[in-house]
Amino acid sequence: MIILEGLSKSFNGVKVLDNLNIEFGDKQITVVIGRSGGGKSVMLKHIIGLMKPDSGKVLIGGIDINALKKKELNEIRKKFGMVFQDGALLDSLTVFENTAFPLRRHLKLSEKEIKDRVFSVLEDVGLKGQDKKMPSEISGGMRKRVGVARALILNPEIMLFDEPTTGLDPVMSDVINNLIISMHNKFKFTGIIISHDISGAFKTGDIIAMLYDGRIIESGAPEEFRNSANPVVKQFITGSMEGPILI
């Protein structure tokens, strides 16, 4: 269970997160939607300890990660896989080496075992035969999938996705959404997905939450969420210009 408790964070005096509270259930996929620039990536970076809150707590399995030493935090991070908004692949390494990177770092495996595991995940994400390419030689959608493969390779308990479908064509978005669903069925991780792709959110999420004005203003199962009475949520779902969201 991941709990964010009263999380607040400002940059240069501007409040991005403002007393944010949310719980992410085990083995569930929670999709957090919200406006561009609304602080979704900032929230995600707090969960993995890349950013420290001004106040509030990040509890992972009951442990406040900001009270941990670097070594202890790294132990917790090994339970995570994270897919970055733009892939964040190591651009000096091939697709194969990028995917193998966490394996080589954290497990003592033979070269054969590494190959087997990498090829199997690359096949899972539909990148068979692309292993020798460099990140600069593949498309954005492929880079995202390599990011997914790299995040999955250690069979993490928790997967974080930062806008896995943004910037992709609708077909590729659907490919990625289906990939997340099938990977979730196979590996049973706790998933947190950041997105502003509403239809994708309804498709992949067990729970959908909306981040607005620095806090979670609504959360629930897709059907509940769709029928929310909150005008902000309504406006966001319909994508209308009319409503309380100021432009």
Ligand X SMILES: Nc1ncnc2c1ncn2[C@@H]1O[C@H](COP(=O)(O)OP(=O)(O)OP(=O)(O)O)[C@@H](O)[C@H]1O
Residue 178, amino acid: N
Chain center to CA of 146: 14
Q: How many whole angstroms separate alpha carbon 88 and alpha carbon 74? A: 19
DSSP letter assigned to residue 162: E
- CB nearer other proteins, residue 85 or residue 235: 85
Place of tokens 């978005």: 173
Binding site for ligand X (CB under 6 A): 11, 16, 34, 36-42, 163, 196
**102, 1, 2: which is closest to 47 by C-alpha?**
2
- The first and second tokens of residue 23, run together, are 């719980």
- Residue among 8, 10, 28, 41 that touches Mg ion (CB under 5 A): 41
Instruction: Work out whether 89 is an interface residue with other proteins (CB under 8 A).
Output: yes
The only residue of 27, 106, 128, 132 in contact with other proteins, by rule CB under 8 A: 106
Residue (94 or 204) nearer to ligand X, CB:
204
Closest CA to 4 of 60, 45, 42: 60
33 binds other proteins (CB under 8 A): no
- Give the residue with the Cβ less far from other proteins, 7 or 83: 83
Among 1, 21, 27, 50, binds other proteins (CB under 8 A): 50
Q: Which does 11 bind (CB under 5 to 8 A by kind): ligand X, Mg ion, other proteins, none?
A: ligand X
Provide the minimum distance between the beta carbon of 247 and other proteins in the complex, in angstroms, as a whole number: 25
Minimum CB distance to ligand X smaller for 20 or for 146: 20
Position among 85, 130, 166, 235 found at the interface with other proteins (CB under 8 A):
85
**Residue 10 is a binding residue for Mg ion (CB under 5 A):** no
C-alpha torsion 31→36→41→44, nearest 10? -30
Binding footprint of Mg ion, residue count (CB under 5 A): 1
Scanning 101-109, 113-121, 168-176, 234-242 for contacts with other proteins by CB under 8 A, the matching segment is 101-109
Judged by beta carbon distances under 5 to 8 A according to partner kind, the member of other proteins, Mg ion, ligand X, none in contact with residue 105 is other proteins
Based on the shown chain and the rule CB under 5 A, indicate whether residue 166 belongs to the binding site for Mg ion: no
Q: What is the 3-state secondary structure (H, E, C) of 213-226?
A: CCEEEEEECHHHHH
Residue for token pair 């997340």: 180
Pick the closer one to ligand X by CB: 189 or 212: 212
CA 148/CA 179 separation, integer angstroms: 9
Picking from 29, 82, 33, the residue whose alpha carbon sits closest to that of residue 212 is 33
CB of residue 85 vs ligand X: minimum separation in angstroms? 6
Write out the E strands in 50-100: 55-60, 63-64, 80-83
